[in-house]
Structure 1
Amino acid sequence: MIAAIALPRIMRIGGGALAETKGVLDSLGLSRPLIVTDPMMVKIGLAERLQGMLGSAAIFSDTVPEPDSDAVDRARAAVRGEDCDCIVALGGGSPIDTAKAVAVLAKQGGRMRDHKAPALNNGPALPVIAIPTTAGTGSEATRFTIVTDSETHEKMLCIGASFLPVAAIVDYELTLTCPARLTADTGVDALTHAIEAYVSRRANPFSDGFALNAVRRIAANLRRAYRDGADREAREAMMLGATEAGIAFSNASVALVHGMSRPIGAHFHVPHGLSNAMLLPVVTAYSVPAAERRYAECARAMGLIQEGRDDASATAALLDELRALNSDLAVPGPRAYGIDEAKWNGLLPLMAEQALASGSPANNPMVPDAEAITALYRQVWAEGGQAR
């Protein structure tokens, strides 16, 4: 199998890397950036700090936590109004995904739904320079973006080189003030990326190395970063692990957890990383029989079992650890989160259909049908979780 590998053209990784942003823009011949960010980055002064570094840049901060097509259209209008030649995305996955979507629409036109999977987008796009402020989505290094259709409430997966940032500025110091809940949710998101990339039917030797490195870093440091946000060593490891996981899944794809997670986010406004965490133990248990060796290698990378133990023991340890991690990070189940049971059950057929339509479940070791996905959603509800 020939693996098609795609990476940002330029990457700056390490504490203080934010200061390199202006030099990166200059090296690319770009001079009219729009900073796409969120209200929190404006409130804490980081957007203005970046604006000062760049000399001249407009700021668009009207993004929403789970990007929707209305927010994308507003940002596209800002790009046109400022005659921008590039977008600097500052924030978590939501501003970065918004920026990537705007970059494509600004050059290709149409509506966001015109670009959703299974469409493959390799056409022109405005250059995006991505600066993550959370250690989670890895969106700074991926050829994917996720946008909810504001009319249909479908959470759309959009794929292709058009969505790949031209540059990524990965500065772990930007995560030092992340609150514990955000640290937990984004951290489990990154862990899910790494595990799913490694067990994906599209995994390859290139993605495997990044996936296992990410698993090692995240498993060793997520609890530390959650308990002590000022732990610089843990924060640095988490930031690098999240980027490695992004590279891994961008080049191998995610699988069933993400396919099932997107409808939960779209219909119930659950943060993406949290909905992944709700699903990860149950979906992993379902999938293990089809890729026992691969899941066992994840357990070994996490240091969960002594060398020489068999794969069955390793996968059992992995499942125990995923449940323990959710407990330690106070991850609620759908009921504990406050989702209405009748609404949950009523939407299961549509959610299963939307999960399958995204294409991600087809990458899973155990490929489900709609009936299997519905059963898994019911199991996730039944197993519950901690209070929020």
Structure 2
Amino acid sequence: MSVNINLPRILRVGAGASDHLAPTLKHLGLSRPLLVTDPFMCECGYADRVVSGLDAAGVAHGVFAECVPDPTTDSVGQGLAALAAGSYDCLVALGGGSSIDTAKAVAAMADRDGPMRDYKVPHLIDSGLPVIAIPTTAGTGSEATHAAVITDSETSEKMLCSGLGLMPIAALVDFELTLTMPYRLTADTGIDSLCHALEAYVSRKANPFTDGVALTAMSTIYRNIHTACAEPDNRAAREAMMLAATQGGIAFSNASVTLIHGMSRPIGGLFHVPHGLSNAMLLPEVTAWSVGSAPGRYAAAARAMGLAGSGDSDSVALVKLTDGLRQLNADLSVPTPGEFGIDEAVWADSLQLMAEQALASGSPGNNPRIPEADEIVELYQRVWAG
């Protein structure tokens, strides 16, 4: 069996990696970037740091700093207007997954007509302007994926977009940019990374390349996430989480996510729950529902995370895995949908729509146990109950 593996052309990892933007642009033959970022990156000085490096190297550039959490087609439209205002030959994405996905969408839609919903999965986006990604959260892995999630401003649907045109040409992965991440963001993006690795490992599209990367990422995340949350200045834990986030992105981009992500997107689109947090809400229940269809895989994941030992049978390892994931959510104070503030009646009225949108994304079809719509509705109900 042969598989296609897609990665950024340049992947620079480690302290100070973000300072190599200007040389990376030169190496790629690019000369006029549009920096795509958000207001917080400007407030905390990270955007100025990037701009100063470009100025020092004599690189002409523009700045679009209006990215929003969980990017929408409206915010992408604003980015496209900024792109059209200058003769830019590439985009530099600085921020978390929202800024990176915004840049990817702007790059992809620069030479395309019609609304972005015309290009969601199953359509594949095969071309776009070059994107250099500089992630500032240890979570989404978007710097190493050929996917982006954009909310349709008219319908509130979180659309999955995919294709090689969305793969950054370069990624500068600098864990020092994550040292200011607050507790909640550290926890939610860390669990998001864990979901990426676990889902890639149990996916029906898993392959020998992604298996090793996914297991390593799971092991690293589970062993470091508590420390990264409790000790935000712990450089070793931050570095480990950042590397594992990129590994998780590589794993799922080349093997696919599964039911957790499929069910997560509608929660974010309809109720504005941050992406990593909605994944965290779903992780224990969806895993418990799925383990019986791939017991060897889930047991291996439990052992990689240190939740089960080499002497444990698969059946024992599966119990320890689901118990361990529930405990992880408790340790990191992951709220239920109700605790987050979602109205129970509105949640109940949205169950069928969420199930339909989850199935339409295609991700549930990669799950070891493939659900019907009514089974997804039941899972949403279990998640509400907590």
Q: Given the two structures, how large is their TM-score scaled by the length of structure 1?
A: 0.98
Q: CA deviation at 1:321?
A: 0.9
1:17-36 paired onto structure 2 within 5 Å: 17-36=17-36
Contact 1:108 1:125 in 2 (8 A): no
Q: Does 1:349 align with 2:355?
A: no
Bigger Cα displacement from structure 2, 260-269 vs 53-62: 53-62
Match of 1:117 among 121, 124, 143: 121
Q: Distance in 2 between matches of 1:49 and 1:172?
A: 15
1:38 aligns to what?
A: 38
| SS of structure 2 residue aligned to 1:367 | coil
Q: Which amino acid aligns with 1:299?
A: A
Instruction: Tell me the equivalent position of 1:48.
Output: 48
CA distance in 1, matches of 2:98, 2:336: 23
1:108 match: secondary structure: coil
Task: State the match for 1:248 in structure 2.
Answer: 251
Aligned residue identity for 1:109: D
Q: For residue 107 of structure 1, what is the aligned residue in structure 2?
A: 111
Structure 2 partner of 1:162 = 165
Structure-2 residue corresponding to 1:79: 83
Partner of 1:339: 342
Deviation per residue, 1:103-128 (Å, 9 max, x gap): 00012333211110011121x21000
One-letter code aligned to 1:112? M
**Residues of 2 paired with 1:79 and 1:328: CA distance?**
43
What is the CA-CA distance between 1:306 and the residue it aligns to? 2.0
- The code of the aligned residue for 2:82 comes to A
1:57, distance to aligned residue in structure 2 (A): 1.9
CA-CA distance at 1:382 after TM superposition: 1.0
Q: Percent identity?
A: 60
Report what 1:215 is aligned to.
218
Q: What SS does the aligned partner of 2:93 have?
A: strand
Structure 2: any 5+ residue segments left out of the alignment? none
Q: CA deviation at 1:308?
A: 2.1
Q: Tell me the amino acid that sits aligned with residue 24 of structure 2.
A: V
Distance 1:117 1:272 in 2: 18
How do 1:106-145 and structure 2 match up within 5 A?
A: 106-122=110-126, 124-145=127-148
Equivalent of 1:280 in 278, 283, 290: 283
- 1:261 paired to 2:264: yes
**How many residues in Structure 1 have an aligned counterpart in Structure 2?**
382
- CA RMSD of superposed structures (Å): 0.7
| Alpha-carbon contact 1:96-1:130 (below 8 Å) kept | yes
Matched residue, 2:299: 296
Equivalent in the alignment of 1:66:
70
**Once the 2 structures are TM-superposed, how far is the Cα of residue 4 of structure 1 from its aligned partner?**
1.2
Alignment correspondent of 1:386 = none
Post-superposition shift, 1:54? 1.2
Residue aligned with 1:305, SS = coil
Flag structure 1 segments of 5+ consecutive residues without an equivalent.
384-388
Distance 2:338 2:77 in 1: 34
Over 3 Å off, 4+ runs: none
For residue 240 of structure 1, give the secondary structure of its aligned residue in structure 2: helix
Query: In the aligned structure 1, how far is the partner of 2:315 from the partner of 2:88?
Result: 55
In the alignment, the residues of structure 2 paired with residue 3 and residue 312 of structure 1 have an alpha-carbon distance, to the nearest angstrom, of 31
- C-alpha distance in 1, partners of 2:17/2:111? 29
* In structure 1, C-alpha distance between the alignment counterparts of 2:61 and 2:219, rounded to whole Å: 38
